[in-house]
Structure 1
Amino acid sequence: MSESLKRNYCVGEELGRGRFGTVFKCYSPATGESFAVKSIDKRLIADDAIDRQCLYNEAKIMHLLSPNPYVVRVFDIYEDDTHLDMVLELCNSGDLFQRLSSQPVFSESEAVDVMVSLMKAIAHCHRLGVAHRDIKPDNILFTDSNELKLADFGSAECFHEGQLMSGVVGTPYYVAPEVLAGRNYSEKIDIWSAGVILYIMLAGVPPFFGDSATEIFEAVLRANLRFPSRIFHSVSPAAKDLLRRMLSKDVSRRFSAEQVLRHPWMTSNGEIRTVAPF
């Protein structure tokens, strides 16, 4: 951890650990405010140009996206010869993966609450020319006041309008079929991943599954979307319509983030819901 960070923040307990970095809780002695600090050991990626590029991309992209109420905010970045440290907004109330583990099925109103905030985050990224490329429940965090924050931009990539991206990124269950097929792809891979999350919230199971990564990928490539009656008997037609539009294998027919936000299921579900400007 860089000495310049330690001069400005007091570092506390470890909150999590990843492949190259560790997240700690920290606070500012000057203000008493608490933060998270993601400390990345650059020595672990010294010989890997791709990992090194991802490291610097994440810092650059988080600066570009901040501040936004639906994206984890970056406050400070410190770097020395061995470490890159990012001081981030503290999200102390777990992630969506943990919530799905304790409550496998969400009501439609609960799912709408998650999806509106998530899609506002994704729409903000896409408007600024950023594709997240690894939308999954683990990367959807919550603050103490239950505000949703999209996190972890280590796989993100900047794009220009109409420009396609390449490279296999993402996580089994959530990765879009065009990525697995080895084709160039657009930012709409994020819409597919968000659609998988919506399906899981409403059904308690993923839409495309298998007993191994290979079987999962084969199911995703087939993209045979089904709504078993024993699971979806109480799910509204509007919710299923949105899922079809988010989980369309035909990318030209797949919704954009703005189209998802304007869908009737997102704007009214048992009551009139107004999607606030973003």
Structure 2
Amino acid sequence: MCENFKRDYQICDEIGRGRFGVVFRCFSVTANDFFAVKSIDKRLLLDSTDRECLEKEPKILQILSPQPNILQIYDLYESETHLWIVTELCESSTLYDRITLKIFTESEAASVISQLVEAIAHCHRHGIAHRDIKPDNILFDSRNRLKLCDFGSAEWFSGEKRSMRGVVGTPYYVAPEVLSGREYNEKVDVWSAGVILYIMLGGVPPFYGENVEETFEAVLRANLRFPFRAFRSVSPAAKDLIRKMLCKDVSRRFSAEQVLSHPWVVCGGMTSPVTDPT
């Protein structure tokens, strides 16, 4: 273990495990507080893509910090074999844990989506697309404040590079233009957030199949429907926002800033004058 890390932090219990490493709770004697540390074994990075993700994530977190709804990085340590990324500690459940347990009220869903899109908008203002927005990558701190994490698939789109390529993301949440192989822009994050909003309010994903291939085909068709049984109590305003986030035509799809200005978000999921065309 890196001597500098051992000097500054005491490793406690394991709180998570991923493809390349383990997340531990750790204690800083200097700060007299607990943090999280992701310990990554660099020997498990099998190709250049893995190594690029490893190098990219801490850089992006440093650029984006501090922001209330993005996991904050505090320290970075490296040895010949390992990398340790120290971040704030979030021990509450993930959004994935929460959506498997219940259907959200509109006010609950609006609270989540407003915080999530605030984080997304912050990324986009800095020329960064997350590209893997999903409930598993959304944490909550001790005050129930949302924290977007895992920027391993993130990409810069600022400067001369205004578009991106590459199939990244997760079934159910990936945007159709990503699967099509075309160039795409940062609005892929808005699409993914729209899928999350749909699931929170309806309890099911908007596009799915019996397997990954069928799910991808459904995403590519992007035939958005609101089944009556699942959405009978959902307001016209909420459905209006979902349509604008899950618009297959990227030029007409809302930006993160437009989502934040939508009446349903501004009103916190309360009754809004938006009418339902269906």
Say whether the fold is shared (TM-score over 0.5). yes
Q: CA deviation at 1:3?
A: 2.5
What is the CA-CA distance between 1:270 and the residue it aligns to?
Answer: 2.6
Q: Which deviates more from structure 2 when the two are superposed, residues 218-227 or residues 159-168? A: 159-168
8 Å contact kept, 2:264–2:271: no
Is 1:5–2:10 an aligned residue pair?
no
Bigger CA drift: 155-164 or 83-92?
Answer: 155-164
Q: Provide the rounded CA distance (Å) in 1 between the counterparts of 2:270 and 2:182.
A: 40
- Partner residue of 2:152 out of 132, 151, 154: 154
Q: Which residue of 2 aligns with 1:275?
A: none
Alignment: residue pair count: 270
Q: C-alpha separation between the residues in 1 aligned to 2:31 and 2:51?
A: 33
- For 1:144, the equivalent position in structure 2 comes to 142
2:170 match: secondary structure: coil
| Residue of structure 2 equivalent to 1:26 | 26
For residue 77 of structure 1, give the secondary structure of its aligned residue in structure 2. Answer: strand
Structure 2: runs of 5 or more not aligned: 273-278
Report the equivalent of 1:276: none
Q: Distance in 2 between matches of 1:142 and 1:153?
A: 16
Q: Secondary structure at the match of 2:139?
A: strand
Give the partner amino acid of 2:6.
K
Work out the percentage of aligned pairs sharing the same amino acid: 63
1:223 aligns with 2:222: yes
Separation in 2 of the partners of 1:67 and 1:76?
A: 13
Using the alignment, how far apart are the partners of 2:101 and 2:27 within structure 1?
30
In the other structure, the counterpart of 2:190 is: 191
Q: Secondary structure at the match of 1:92?
A: coil
Q: Counterpart of 1:258 in structure 2: which amino acid?
A: E
Paired residue for 1:134, among 113, 132, 145? 132
Equivalent residue, structure 2, for 1:120: 118
Partner of 2:249: 250
Aligned amino acid, residue 228 of structure 1: P
SS of 2:243 mapped into structure 1: helix
Match in the other structure for 2:166: 167
SS in 1 for 2:208: coil
Aligned residue in 2 for 1:260: 259
1:71 match? 70
SS in 2 for 1:102: coil
Provide the secondary structure at the position in 2 that maps to 1:38.
Answer: strand
Q: Which residue pairs with 1:43 in the alignment?
A: 43
Q: In the alignment, is residue 107 of structure 1 matched against residue 105 of structure 2?
A: yes
- Structure 1 runs (4+) greater than 3 angstroms displaced: none
For 2:134 and 2:149, how far apart are their aligned partners in 1?
10
Equivalent in the alignment of 2:275: none
Alignment partners' CA distance in 1, 2:244 and 2:143? 31
Q: Which amino acid aligns with 2:171?
A: P
Q: CA deviation at 1:271?
A: 7.0
Q: Which amino acid aligns with 2:118?
A: K
TM norm structure 2: 0.95
> Structure 1 stretches of 5 or more lacking a match?
273-278
What is the CA deviation profile of residues 5-60 of structure 1, one whole-angstrom value per residue up to 9, with x for unaligned ones?
11100011111111102100001012221100011111111x41111011000011
CA distance 1:224–1:79, shift in 2 (3 Å): same
- C-alpha distance in structure 1 between counterparts of 2:271 and 2:62, whole Å: 37
User: Which segment drifts farther, 154-163 or 30-39?
Assistant: 154-163
- In 2, distance between residues paired with 1:112 and 1:198? 8
Tell me how far apart the structure 2 counterparts of residues 72 and 163 of structure 1 sit (CA, whole Å): 25
How far apart are the structure 2 equivalents of 1:131 and 1:153?
9
Is the partner of 1:27 in helix, strand or coil?
strand
| Shift, 1:158, TM fit | 1.1
Q: CA RMSD in A?
A: 1.2
The amino acid across from 1:8 in the alignment is D
SS at match of 2:100: helix
Q: Which moved more, 1:51-60 or 1:160-169?
A: 160-169
Deviations 1:98-145 (A, max 9, x none): 011222x10000000101100100000000011000000000000111
Q: Deviations over 1:73-108 (max 9, x none)?
A: 0000001111111100101102100011222x1000
